[in-house]
Amino acid sequence: MDYKKIYEEWLSNPYFDEETKKELQSISGDENEIKERFYADLEFGTAGLRGIIGAGINRMNIYVVRKATQGLANYILSQNKAEKGVAIAYDSRRMSPEFAQEAALCLAANGIKAYIFESLRPTPELSFAVRELGCIAGINITASHNPPEYNGYKVYWEDGAQITPPHDGKIMAEVKAVTDWNTVKTMSKEDAVAKGLYEVIGAAIDDKYMEELKKQVVHWDSIKEVGKDLKIVYTPLHGTGNIPARRVLKEIGFENVYVVPEQELPDGEFPTVSYPNPEAEEAFTLALKLAKEKDADLVLATDPDADRLGVYVKDTKTGEYITLTGNMSGCLLADYEIGQRKETEGLPKDGALIKTIVTSNLADAIAAHYDVRLIEVLTGFKFIGQQILNFETNNSGTYLFGFEESYGCLIGTHARDKDAIVATMALCEAAAYYKTKGMTLWDAMVAMYDKYGYYLDGIQSITLKGIEGLAKIQDILNQLRQNTPKEVGGYQVLSARDYKEDTVKNLATGEVTSTGLPSSNVLYYDLSDDAWLCVRPSGTEPKVKFYYGVKGTSLEDAKDKSEKLGKEVVDMINKML
């Protein structure tokens, strides 16, 4: 149907409320805005929905949420799993409680029990709750670290991971099959409660989640020895992490935790930052100010749904706070968790370290050192969760640690998504352990580089919004796919992986093999001298991302090589625009 006709239908159909119609009437003279809102349905991707809040089929609103939930309900009913129920959580964003409520009432109207959290909770706790309650699925209302105008809708399956094949494709098909708004069911909260199809959850799940986190502590002795001395600054960036992060740190013995007061309380407008992302330097401005006042040892920030952790550590030699990228903090935790497990109880013969294809090759060196299996998966933590499920189902491996470069990791198997609460706990534990050895976390990082090699990784990305932006992103991928570069930034391209076509081509011999991974619109180039480059569209933002890594002879050499390659990548992007 023509987008103008859909727009007119929303204005005239009694199904849509007056407030929605008033919003749409306000854009009646803006042809481009009408097109952006109605040219296509907000795409239900492999994890769910994410988009700008507002009226229209290409926006996040109660009607789009209901429709997505109806599709999910139809799939659950087709699997005869309605009796297991669905857990629902939400974050601090605008409309998050309302969207969670709409999802719960749609499920209830379909005879599927909804377990909805009483107030905002972190993403990893939703993953834990799905498993703990024995649910068939989970829904989390969050747009993670996106700007304030966004919200999202993530779907989890019964193992606690975000949906993967075959469920993702089948759920997407059911959502697309919902074409008549009048077939989307809902009911009143009172009726849902009366029928036993709506249950509020909270403290009992919180307590069980906390106990699972504390099981992951390796060195209680180190925390007991120096936990009262270590100074930690933490910010939840107006999101869900405040209560659980402070609680777990207090319960395991850290006494000096200073929370950034301006960012402590939930606020969907994120008033102190333009972009609530722990990858961004801006997100740490207030935390670093507090850290200098308190002379803190480390500075931590979780994103709004508390699945990603940003880190600054103090270099006592210079007095400066140094940022750790997701690759750096992930490798630091991987080395600590696997190394201390080896020291305290030994490693299983089938132990595995899992990383994504855009994650540092330093992880490969760590796995080789401990003689554990290194498994590489596509970008997206759900693929790490899928590997854990394979281990359990087939008795084919033991999960030791998993992480991705985008500041997310999981310690333990209580959840199947990134968990910044357990990462916060573990990093503070590691800081305590190294403090007992006369080392800071930065000392430990430098020692790791000295031990494994000076790997350094970077990323360049460009934002291309709207219909034209999506087309340009595809054009960039197509240009590279049709013309494989022979060299990038002075590095020779040794092989080219095309995950969409499932090919790995050796440029010297012409031999073509399989990637061994599911289809994905991603290109990866293995370069000379242990360097690499990967190109992929973002799955959550209107961006195309260029990831790259180098290996130097020293930290300074690695920085120089990384900066040079980064500049060459920018030049390459500009030539394609």
Both 76 and 158 in one domain: the answer is: yes
Which CATH number does the domain housing residue 492 bear? 3.30.310.50
pLDDT attached to residue 538: 82
- Distance, in Å, from the CA atom of 191 to the CA atom of 177, rounded to the nearest integer, reads 27
pLDDT in tens, 87-105: 999 999 999 999 999 999 9
Does 443 share its domain with 468? no
Confidence grade of residue 392 (pLDDT, cut at 50, 70, 90): very high
Query: Which residue pairs from 31-34 have beta carbons closer than 8 angstroms and sit at least 24 positions apart in sequence?
Result: 34/3, 34/4, 34/7
Residue linked to tokens 């006369």: 438
Owner of token pair 């699972």 = 212
Say yes or no to pLDDT of 46 above 90. no
Same domain, 141 and 240: no
What percentage of the chain has pLDDT greater than the value 70?
Answer: 100
Residue of 307 and 464 predicted with greater confidence: 307
For strand 491-498 and strand 351-356, is the pairing parallel, antiparallel, or unpaired? unpaired
**Choosing from 127, 144, 495, 562, which is the catalytic residue?**
144
**CA nearest to 434, candidates 302, 311, 313:** 313
| 143 in the same domain as 265 | no
Residue where a domain stops, chosen among 408, 436, 451: 451
Residue 426 sits in the same domain as residue 489? no
The answer to whether residues 69 and 55 belong to one domain is yes
Q: Where are the alpha helices (DSSP H) in 45-202?
A: 62-78, 96-109, 123-133, 167-177, 189-194
Determine the average pLDDT of the residues in 172-178: 96
* Eight-class DSSP state of 497: E
| pLDDT tops 80 at residue 6 | yes
- pLDDT for residue 44 is more than 90: no
pLDDT computed for residue 456 by the predictor: 96
Q: Which residues of 75-86 are buried (b: 16+ CB within 10 A; e: fewer)?
A: bbeeeebbebbb
Please state, rounded to an integer, the average pLDDT across all residues of the chain: 96
Q: For residue 312, is it within any domain? A: yes
Residues 6 or more apart whose Cβ sits within 8 Å of residue 313 = 297, 298, 299, 321, 322, 324, 431, 440, 441, 442, 445
pLDDT of residue 469: 84
Separation of alpha carbons 249 and 510, rounded Å: 54
Q: Are residues 379 and 504 in the same domain?
A: no
Q: For the chain, how many helices (H) and strands (E)?
A: 19, 23
Residues 480, 505: one domain? yes
pLDDT for 80 equals 97
pLDDT at 183 over 80: yes
Give the mean pLDDT of 378-407: 96
Predicted pLDDT at 60: 98
Helix (H, G, I), strand (E, B) or coil at 454: strand
What pLDDT digit, counting tens, does each position of 365-384 carry?
999 999 999 999 999 999 99
Tell me, what's the pLDDT at 390? Answer: 96
Which of 172, 201, 230 is the last residue in one of the domains? 201
pLDDT of residue 378: 95
Claim to verify: residue 131 and residue 230 sit in the same structural domain: no
Helix or strand run (H / E) with residue 151 = strand 150-157
| Number of C-beta neighbours around residue 217 at 10 A | 17
Q: What is the pLDDT of residue 15?
A: 94
Q: Is residue 6 part of a domain?
A: no
Residue 119 lies in a domain: yes
Instruction: Find where tokens 């740490």 sit.
Output: 284
β-bridge partners, 545: 461, 536
The predicted structure's pLDDT at residue 465:
83
Tell me the pairing of strands 543-552 and 454-463: antiparallel
| pLDDT of amino acid 246 | 98
pLDDT at 574: 85
Judge if 491 and 471 occupy the same domain.
yes
The answer to whether the beta carbons of residues 257 and 290 sit under 8 Å apart is no
Q: 544 lies in which domain range?
A: 454-576
Buried b (16+ CB within 10 A) or exposed e, 497-532: bbbeebebbebeeeeeeebeeeebbbbbbbbeebbb
User: Cβ(254)–Cβ(232) under 8 Å?
Assistant: yes
561 vs 44, residue with greater confidence: 561
Task: Specify whether the CB–CB gap between 336 and 430 falls below 8 A.
Answer: yes
Beta-carbon-side half-sphere exposure of residue 401 (alpha carbons within 13 Å): 29
Give me the residue label for tokens 């008795």. 395
Residue 360's contacts (CB-CB under 8 Å, 6 or more residues apart) are 327, 328, 330, 331, 405, 455, 457, 549
Q: For residue 225, give the CATH number of its domain.
A: 3.40.120.10
Q: With respect to residue 3, please indicate whether it lies within any of the assigned structural domains.
A: no
What is the distance between the alpha carbons of residues 121 and 142, in angstroms, rounded to a whole number?
10
Query: What's the pLDDT at 324?
Result: 97
Characterize the bridge pairing of strands 309-315 and 320-324: antiparallel
pLDDT of residue 275: 86
End residue of a domain, out of 451, 472, 498: 451
| Residue 399 within any structural domain of the chain | yes
Same domain assignment for residues 440 and 556? no
Supply the pLDDT for residue 273: 95
Structure tokens at 431: 């800081």
- The two three-digit tokens of residue 166, written as one number: 């075959």
Tokens 């008549």 — which residue? 180
**Residue 194 included in any domain:** yes
pLDDT above 80 for 541: no
Q: In this predicted model, what pLDDT tens digit does every residue of 199-245 receive, in sequence order?
A: 999 999 999 999 999 999 999 999 999 999 999 999 999 999 999 99
Q: How confident is the model at residue 441 (pLDDT cuts 50, 70, 90)?
A: very high
- Residues 6 or more apart whose CB falls under 8 angstroms from that of 61 comprise 20, 53, 54, 55, 95
Buried (b) or exposed (e) across 10-39, using 16+ Cβ within 10 A?
A: beeeeebeeebbebbeebeeeeeebbbbbb
Residue 144 catalytic? Answer: yes
Label residue 155 exposed, middle or buried (CB < 10 Å: 0-12, 13-18, 19+). Answer: buried
246, 333: one domain: yes
Q: How far is CA 566 from CA 467, 474, 481, 497, 561, in A?
A: 28, 21, 20, 20, 8
Q: What is the pLDDT of residue 47?
A: 75
- Per the structure, the count of domains in the chain is 3
Percent of the chain with pLDDT over 90: 92
Q: Is residue 13 part of a domain?
A: no
The whole-number average pLDDT for the span 342-351 is 97
| 15 falls within a domain | no
| Residue 577 banded pLDDT, cuts 50, 70, 90 | confident
Q: What is the pLDDT of residue 576?
A: 83
Sorted by sequence, the CB contacts under 8 Å of residue 176 that are 6+ apart come out as: 41, 44, 71
